[in-house]
A and B are shown apart, each in its own frame.
Chain A
């Protein structure tokens, strides 16, 4: 199977968030970057499919130069080659714009399967994979935990709300967005890193890809949320505290 995994390099989960001078995005000086979590699961699913059925796993990512290190990391975990779409201002694009870039790079490869993580740790839109399917006119499914290859195509396990699951059959080529936690991630190894040194990473330039990039949705400004995390102690008699807690859980936290 020829599998393309679309991955994104995002700020580390641990990162200190500071707003930049213009108030339009975060200040990225001194930020550490890492592979997006659900993309790591997508990559793992692809690698497991390759181990079972043979073929090739290609990782694809758009972004500035620093994205190269995440592509190398993916190669170290076992991907065969990479494609880097050099794009200096990925932030200015909306999900449709990003998907268009990726689609132009994917089309000539004509893969059997395209995997993407469910959503990114930074913007969290969860749309790129679905839009890709539309742009490439391919069937898709999202929130996928497990992928099985069959005679006629694929059978995938999709997560539904409240602990329900569903199996979906679809033909290849197809696009799937992978939910975190469906498989166990492999760790990076010294051997993987050494082997990755000789694997190819092809460089494409966003400006040359002739993709329509004017955004329809614009991020006007960003702000740090008012609430900082602190512990609300509920006092009074056990009965009072209990009632207050349930109120909070229902209307403030909205988990009941």
Chain B
């Protein structure tokens, strides 16, 4: 039992020899720490400055810092139990700052926190609580890493981590034990020295291991690029992307050195989960090795440090990695940077990739189909042409303009817009928004498409755009900014949610004879139709839109969630331009996700992205007659509209 008035024992007198020894040890420890840290800081500072980096507005940075670092929000939210354990360790470190300072001061006879003084006693007790939680936490994490051994921590046992865990545990135990011994006892002295040695051994280990994140990650989080998947502009005529060490920028280097090898990025990566070579953690660690071995002034190709040249091209840009990372690593600009380096120089030789680039060099859409096809569709669906008098410009996109399913979604959405009395028109000429080439790193074609489209928008005096495709929304709103000022654009789920109260939908348990037209023969039974909603990557993680599409789904039937939903949603596999790149090796990402959605037992799968829709359509075809029906939220809405009187 801890006696209530027990307090931290502090040895009072250290001999001159001990003090000298302490000085030497501190000197050695800090020297070892600094010598290594200096090299790493050097590598970071020798790297190229980041083009387009803006420190201001600083508000968001401060908030992110507070939320992610101080409150450990990401760490806890994404992996609750281990996250909490880590948070305790971190908070204990923070609490211990004062204690540690006092500890060393006491070694020279100038301790400023007195166990007798009110503040001193309070603080020691305060720190003791943290020490307890920290010790428990580190113990739990040790068990997890060395006994439970989850596979995203890797196959190899990290003795480094074991040592650090031991040192931290020792630090906490020696601190707590000091409550149970007397000031003047030799036990107190031993505890003091063990604690000191633990710290002085720990210190130089920091820059030699992933525990460098202790020093770097607060800076990494603070100095983020300022947006999710923020692709930096190319700097000047000789910059083509990440090709060699000289292309690595300070942010990239800082982030590479901050990696804690936690494996959260890998755990959620759709490529890794389907047997591809791409492993986001490995990419970052390979960059780190490159920096250590070659450095930021080297001409050696970065691609050779990766497992294979196709690795960056297996990324769907779903963003689960960047979204998860607790230390602020931004994987997407790095992966896209590697792609840029290969594509902007022509080094990437891929039949499908070349076909896509050639189609967009010459023509207007990513499929390589004649634009007359889009004109035919507009005529057949009697879509009004935008002439600056309407409020909204309805952007068709490559799927809405050319894909049979995408066209159905457009037709239904147009019907809904008409019903709601929203005035809209479609552009006479549209070119691909450029999303696939942007994500594949072809800056030449992207610039051509963005500039061409921006000019059309300006000439047509478009103010507001609505689109059925989250990729178009993202690219138009964010990526086109590099070449001009895009008009305001929203996704059709955001539009629909705004007018939800105008929609005549029956809601959960509703029955509508129009349902018969959509997939299943005969009307659905009166009990609520279970609808599982799949969050598209470019709507969820990229745009933070989760509630609006669900609001629509809830009006149409009974919403059920997939096991991985919201920010954890599992990619369909189409993104990053991959849908245009031919067949995947190994298991198909879309099939994995489709199986997950089907396993919910829902009668309907609701999508909000025409690419997800297209992927699932193929995947569900394998299930045959018993597969759930697949509907976009626009279709879910349209089917509840009253039929026109003829």
Contacts and interface: CB of A to CB of B under 8 A. Distances in A.
Interface of A: 12-14, 34, 184-194
Nearest to B238: A194
28 contacts: A12-B363, A13-B362, A13-B363, A13-B370, A14-B363, A14-B371, A184-B354, A185-B354, A185-B358, A186-B354, A187-B353, A187-B357, A188-B357, A188-B361, A188-B444, A188-B445, A189-B343, A189-B345, A189-B346, A189-B444, A190-B234, A190-B344, A190-B345, A190-B444, A191-B344, A191-B345, A191-B346, A193-B444
Nearest to A37: B362
Contacts of A190: 234, 240, 344-345, 442-444
A245 B490 CA distance: 48
Given A184-B351, A187-B354, A12 B362 contact: yes
Interface string B304-348: 000000000000000000000000000000000000000111100
B364 interface: yes
Contacts of A14: 363-364, 370-372
B237 interface: yes
Q: How large is the interface on B (under 10, 10 to 19, 20 to 34, 35 or more residues)?
A: 20 to 34
Given A184-B351, A189-B345, A189-B442, 20 more contacts: A12-B362, A13-B363, A14-B364, A34-B362, A187-B357, A187-B358, A187-B361, A187-B442, A187-B445, A188-B444, A188-B445, A189-B344, A189-B346, A189-B444, A190-B240, A190-B344, A190-B345, A190-B444, A191-B345, A191-B346
A214 to B, nearest CB: 35
A126 to B, nearest CB: 21
B237 A194 contact: yes
Query: Among B344, B345, B346, which residue has the most Cβ atoms of chain A within 10 A?
Result: B346
A47 B361 CA distance: 19
Contacts of A12: 362-363
A47 to B, nearest CB: 11
A186 B442 CA distance: 13
Contacts of B372: 14
Nearest to B360: A187
B346 A192 contact: yes
B231 to A, nearest CB: 14
B363 A187 contact: no
A184 B343 CA distance: 16
A187 B351 contact: no
Contacts of B362: 12-13, 34
A194 B237 CA distance: 7
A189 B442 CA distance: 7
B289 to A, nearest CB: 27
Interface in B279-298: none
A187 B370 contact: no
Contacts of A194: 237
Contacts of A188: 357, 361, 444-445
Nearest to B353: A187
Query: Among A190, A191, A192, which residue has the most Cβ atoms of chain B within 10 A?
Result: A190
Interface in B217-239: 234, 237
A187 B346 contact: yes
Contacts of A192: 346
Contacts of B358: 185, 187
Name the 6 nearest CB pairs between A and B, nearest first: A187-B357, A190-B344, A190-B444, A189-B346, A191-B345, A14-B371
B554 to A, nearest CB: 41
A194 B370 CA distance: 29
Contacts of B346: 186-187, 189, 191-192
A185 B354 CA distance: 7
A225 to B, nearest CB: 15
Query: Among A14, A184, A187, which residue has the most Cβ atoms of chain B within 10 A?
Result: A187
A78 to B, nearest CB: 9
A133 B344 CA distance: 37
Contacts of B354: 184-187
B482 to A, nearest CB: 13
Contacts of B234: 190
Contacts of A189: 343-346, 442, 444
Interface in B229-259: 234, 237, 240
A184 B349 CA distance: 10
Nearest to B344: A190
Nearest to B447: A190
A192 B240 CA distance: 11
A15 B436 CA distance: 24
Interface in B360-388: 361-364, 370-372
A184 B363 CA distance: 18
A192 B364 CA distance: 22
A184 B445 CA distance: 19
Interface string B436-449: 00000011110000
B78 to A, nearest CB: 37
A145 B360 CA distance: 25
Contacts of A34: 362
A34 B445 CA distance: 14
Contacts of B353: 187
Nearest to B376: A229
A117 to B, nearest CB: 15
B540 to A, nearest CB: 31
Contacts of B363: 12-14
Nearest to A191: B345
A193 B371 CA distance: 26
Contacts of A187: 346, 353-354, 357-358, 361, 442, 445
A227 to B, nearest CB: 15
Nearest to B241: A190
Contacts of B361: 187-188
A192 B445 CA distance: 12
A27 to B, nearest CB: 17
Contacts of A186: 346, 354
A192 B344 CA distance: 8
B228 to A, nearest CB: 25
Query: Among A12, A34, A191, which residue has the most Cβ atoms of chain B within 10 A?
Result: A191
A190 B347 CA distance: 12
Interface string B202-219: 000000000000000000
A59 to B, nearest CB: 17
A42 to B, nearest CB: 15
A188 B357 CA distance: 8
Nearest to B361: A188
A12 B353 CA distance: 21
Interface in B438-492: 442-445
A12 B346 CA distance: 24
Contacts of B237: 194
A185 B444 CA distance: 17
Nearest to A197: B237
A86 B290 CA distance: 52
A220 B358 CA distance: 35
B99 to A, nearest CB: 56
B550 to A, nearest CB: 40
B267 to A, nearest CB: 35
A193 B240 CA distance: 12
Nearest to B237: A194
A13 B221 CA distance: 50
Contacts of B443: 190
A193 B354 CA distance: 16
Contacts of B343: 189
Nearest to A76: B444
A14 B430 CA distance: 13
B240 A191 contact: yes
Interface in B155-207: none
B530 to A, nearest CB: 39
Contacts of A185: 354, 358
A194 B447 CA distance: 14
Interface in B74-101: none
